[in-house]
Structure 1
């Protein structure tokens, strides 16, 4: 058993816009002291995250979260997931 501490940060997601016809989800995500806006074109598998500050920390875990929960996410909904990093 390793005594290593694994840092964790909770990311909070709010879906602000959803269009099944366009294959699009938009929203905000907050983790630690960072805040971003994202647009996920799920039909094309494209995720854009703005601003660029801290984007490398959130883009991959946010993408996994969106792919795993895609049909459960609704506009106006609040969600969260854990990131294995200290933000």
Structure 2
């Protein structure tokens, strides 16, 4: 059972392997299947995300979740919550 889940519009910001930092407001599904591990589903037409090494998801209520990308597929990525977010 997921500890946190959200479906809707969010700002998806990434840091790519080459240092670029693209950002887009898109429809996502954000789930926390394990404590501190998040899974993000996003539209497949986001090629900038395919080189992501770090991600930040900012929800409309200004809550944000960020961390290093652990797994990346055409429309899904997972990341472990950055320890700085836990304080």
TM-score by length of 1: 0.33
Structure in which a larger fraction of residues adopt strand: 2
Larger Rg: 1
Question: Greater relative contact order (Cα 8 A, min sep 6): structure 1 or 2?
Answer: 1
